[in-house]
Amino acid sequence: MDKFMQAAIDQARQGLAAGGIPIGSVLVKDGQIVGVGHNRRVQDGDPITHAEIDCLRRAGRIGSYRGTTLYSTLMPCYLCAGAVVQFGIKRVLAGESQTFSGAREFMEHHGVEVIDLNLSECQTMMREFIAQKPELWYEDIGQL
């Protein structure tokens, strides 16, 4: 497994262990991790703190996002895809999109290369979480 996606999975597991939703994200620039994050909506009581947003916040001001790659254990939603497009991130690798299809077409329409790795580890983690805490999941995706 790619070390950057493994770091995103580690972030997802960290979020789950803290009582949150198991989605993790990593931002890579010039072959180095510049930011990591996980979904903190539950922990922070903040509906905007999705994994990708947390990751970007933690990366801080890095100047240009050209040449960066965003890794996420789940296909980014429209909120996070909007941030990807806004900041000019041109490559996104998603661990999976089976449990949530996300906003792939939106990103691709705006020139982002999107790669769905279709990882069983990411799918299993999300399926188990959704089965155990469906109300939290549907709140997260705005379908409660």
Q: Which pLDDT score, from 0 to 100, does residue 142 have?
A: 83
Q: What's the rounded Cα separation, in Å, for the pair 102 and 96?
A: 10
Catalytic site residue 52? Answer: yes
Q: 25: part of which helix (H) or strand (E)?
A: strand 24-29
**Model's pTM, two decimal places?**
0.96
Report the relative pairing of strands 68-72 and 91-94 from DSSP bridges. parallel
pLDDT of 144 > 80? The answer is no
- Listed in sequence order, the DSSP H helices in the chain are 3-17, 41-44, 51-59, 78-87, 104-109, 120-132, 134-140
Over residues 11-69, the pLDDT tens digits come to 999 999 999 999 999 999 999 999 999 999 999 999 999 999 999 999 999 999 999 99
Indicate whether 131 pLDDT > 90: yes
DSSP symbol at 15: H
Q: Is the pLDDT assigned to residue 102 strictly greater than 80?
A: yes
Alpha-carbon distances, residue 32 vs 2, 26, 68, 80 (angstroms): 13, 10, 10, 21
Per the CB < 8 A criterion, the answer to whether 108 and 87 are in contact is no
Residue 1 has pLDDT above 80, yes or no: no
Domain 3-141 indexed as CATH 3.40.50.2020: no
- Between CA 141 and CA 32 the distance in angstroms is 30
Measured CA to CA, the distance from residue 61 to residue 64 in angstroms comes to 9
pLDDT in tens, 57-91: 999 999 999 999 999 999 999 999 999 999 999 99
Give the start-to-end residue ranges of the domains of the chain.
3-141
Instruction: Please tell me which residue in 52, 105, 121, 128 is annotated as part of the active site.
Output: 52
N- to C-terminal Cα separation, the chain? 34
Find the angle CA(123)-CA(124)-CA(129) to the nearest 5 degrees: 100
